[in-house]
Amino acid sequence: MSQADTNQLLPLNAIQLPQEPSWWPLAMGWWSLLLTTVILLFTIYFFVRYKKRKLKAKKAALSLFALEKHQLSPSAALELVRQAALSYYPRERIANLTGLAWYQFLDSQLEQPRFTNNKVQWDRALYQHQEPKDKEQLIQDCHTWISEALPPKKKFRVQPLKAQSVNE
């Protein structure tokens, strides 16, 4: 038998390859990667939004310092510090602090005290009409407090009010 006769005896069809696998539906690995990516994006979005909201009062106070840098008096700077502190700390704890208690609170939020050591200069700056000679340093202390103490760190959070005795 010849080659031509063999081809006629066997009726063979052409080889057909199966279809390539479709990318849809996705495999479980791709679904888990997609879900992880979506969760990560939402987490980042909400974290950034939370941070922006938390730092809003601090940025506003620092921008006021920048705008009024040369016109700011120590009493105005301390008032700006009080307003910024009221944005982060409980009103009932901060609003009634005056004098030494206020300076102690401010220093309790910093690693190095800046206000109780200068109590005499602060009292002169707040209650006398003449400009103090260390005006720039007092204003710089206020700027430093806003920069370093806000928002409150966990180790410097406000302790609850202590009951004061009658003898104090």
In the block, which residue shows the tokens 């009932």? 92
Tell me: pLDDT of 18 over 50.
yes
Q: Is the dihedral of CA 149, 150, 155, 156 positive or negative?
A: positive
User: What pLDDT was estimated at residue 101?
Assistant: 92
pLDDT digits (tens, 9 = 90+) for 120-167: 888 888 888 777 788 889 999 999 999 999 888 876 565 555 544 444
pLDDT category, 82, cuts 50, 70, 90?
Answer: very high
In DSSP notation, 66-90 reads: HHTTTT--HHHHHHHHHHHHHHHS-
pLDDT (0 to 100) of residue 156 = 57
Q: How confident is the model at residue 22 (pLDDT cuts 50, 70, 90)?
A: confident
Q: 0.85 cut: is pTM over it?
A: no
**Axis crossing angle, helix 119-127 with helix 99-108, rounded to the nearest 10:** 130
